[in-house]
Chains A and B, each alone.
Chain A
């Protein structure tokens, strides 16, 4: 491809002036120049006795009015899309570098191991939950005495706390009441198990049911935006008809769990 002459250059500049995104302007300009060269080659074959200047002027006049073409091209090539695309390229490159650095410093293996561990733990807890509330086989010594469907639910902060299933078990240590306590977070990134350990249960008389030495549970399952634990509450004698779950003493919040809705199995 020859270099464009001054006349051609002026025509191309006028036709592409309206395209504000630089890379697009360059592409369109070279495309138009390609067309022009084809036209010049055809004219040269048809009129071998014409001078280069005559051929060029004829070719340019056949191409059309550069200002009109320029206006049409400017409408076609929206600059913001081009700029956005260019920014996205730089941002993607920066993100790739940042991601690599974060993986190197924060430790991809740990992240992967934690994820694997969560998957395995969830499987183990699902087996426990099946034994506790469904027809699974327990891996511990004990016999289920009753199964309840309390379907209790209450909001606390940006979280929904619920107890859908409960079961009374007779175990060598005594009778134990299991509550499937589930915390579903509105914001998945705020998901965590810390609130579970602050929960306290009391019977209808306001007597605490939780163990004195802290929070006891059999298995803790984690999902995308929720955590669920099988909370173990020791029961002496008959289980209460209703129990109340409370949080920090300063927080005016309560979840009432109705244990009168027994499920026949």
Chain B
């Protein structure tokens, strides 16, 4: 019986090298598709994962306009689509997120390009800077100033529940104003950077903007905050003064 099988095996059709190569390449292609599908077509970079979520919400093609990085594999992205801006971020999780990369992307804002809106980036940068974007600015806008006025911001919950007594004594500045000059973007709109100024506060006092970010869930943008935007043209003529709140979070996730 064993000899029979051996003889049968010896008589099996032999492929030429060309056909073996073709067979191997076909196997490789099928394996690659199956592996990628099982891993839900992962993107290896943070921006790649962001783009994947954008595509899932039909917000592509788009171009990257601005990026804010933070340590620990986290970055926020502002992109420009056909008639809109998309703002969101990607965190690298310890657990959860995408199977291979542990990336967890989310979109916080979809802003019409032709409608005046101000939005805060969902994360602060490496240096603790807070970033905001204004879109839908009037034609001829060359300079802008954004003012955020924060009043009665509650103490972040982690201070309230802290077992460390020195943390429980911390309070938030009752009223604080932040001002930043705009940096024009090529694609329209302006970026505003509010530098970290934690050193300006005593140890037992928390910066109001810092308190807002500390109390915001990691998958969300800060809640709407009162702001005032002034826009000038190249000749220094005031084009617009707008008072309102920063845009609300859209809450778009991959699931």
Q: Which A positions have Cβ atoms within 8 angstroms of B?
A: 81-82, 84-85, 88-89, 91-92, 95-96, 98-99, 102-103, 105-106, 111, 156-159, 187, 189-190, 192, 194-195, 198, 247-253
Contact = CB atoms under 8 A, between A and B. Distances in A.
- Name, among B35, B36, B85, B114, the residue most crowded by chain A CB atoms within 10 Å (CB to CB): B35
B21 A84 contact: yes
B26 to A, nearest CB: 10
Contacts of B35: 95, 98-99, 102
Contact of A95 (B17, B32, B57, B83): B32
Nearest to A198: B57
B55 A95 contact: no
A85 B21 contact: yes
B25 interface: yes
A91 B252 CA distance: 39
B201 interface: no
Interface string B1-29: 00000000000000001101100110110
Given A98-B35, A102-B35, A247-B58, A92 B27 contact: yes
21 contacts: A81-B17, A85-B24, A88-B20, A88-B24, A89-B24, A98-B31, A99-B35, A102-B39, A157-B60, A158-B58, A159-B58, A187-B55, A189-B37, A195-B57, A198-B57, A248-B110, A248-B250, A250-B111, A251-B110, A252-B84, A252-B114
Interface string B29-64: 001101111110100000000001001111111000
B41 to A, nearest CB: 5
Contact of B61 (A95, A158, A194): A158
B184 interface: no
Interface of B: 17-18, 20-21, 24-25, 27-28, 31-32, 34-39, 41, 52, 55-61, 81-85, 99, 110-115, 250, 252
Contacts of B111: 250
A98 B38 CA distance: 12
A189 B42 CA distance: 11
B110 A250 contact: yes
Contact of B38 (A81, A103, A195, A250): A103
Closest 6 CB pairs of A and B: A157-B58, A88-B24, A252-B83, A95-B31, A250-B112, A250-B84
B112 A252 contact: yes
Contacts of B110: 248-251
B84 A91 contact: no
A189 B24 contact: no
